[in-house]
Amino acid sequence: MFSQTRLVWIMLILRPAIFLDRDGVINVDHGYPHKLKYFAFMPDAETAIKRAHHKNIPIFIVTNQGGIGLGYFDITAMRQFHDHMLAQIADAGGHITDIAYCPHHPKSPDPVMRDCDCRKPKPGMILDLARRQVKLADGGADDISNRRITRTRRRHIRPLPIARPVGP
């Protein structure tokens, strides 16, 4: 029987996946984007997502949404923004497999919303998505040590540079 950590490793090794940030990678980042009227894709984002989808590569979004913790918007507004974005991606021929978000922010006025294990660069959202995708049994998640997570990130999750447009 494989441990949960090993199943996450196997998932990432045997089945390539793409983990994308949302703001500034998929959509233009106007500063805590959450209003539908300001939604706009980054150049070529739709095309890249469509190509990956047509190659049967699962695409996941991992996004810090600290605006929730800061009180700028609520989870409902974020979900509406996600639904709108997913509809636009589907209209372009792409598909997002799943989205993980972190609502926390270190400067939140609410102490409960300050510290977490999910805010990037911590690996919590990626590990949560991996567990959900391989449908791991409940329990045992706490026995994955930080050392093993860090080692896993270094060995199997490779960030790729993304060319971003220069200018306004």
Alpha-helical segments (H) within 70-165: 75-91, 124-133, 146-156
CB 11 within 8 Å of CB 52:
no
State the catalytic residue, choosing from 21, 98, 117, 128.
Answer: 21
Measured between its terminal Cα atoms, the distance across the chain in Å is 53
Q: What is the token pair recorded at 55? A: 């190659």
Q: What is the token pair recorded at 82? A: 């996600």
- Give yes or no: 98 in active site: no
* C-alpha pair distances (Å), 119 with each of 23, 47, 91, 103: 14, 28, 30, 8
- Give yes or no: 21 in active site: yes
Catalytic residue ranges: 21, 23
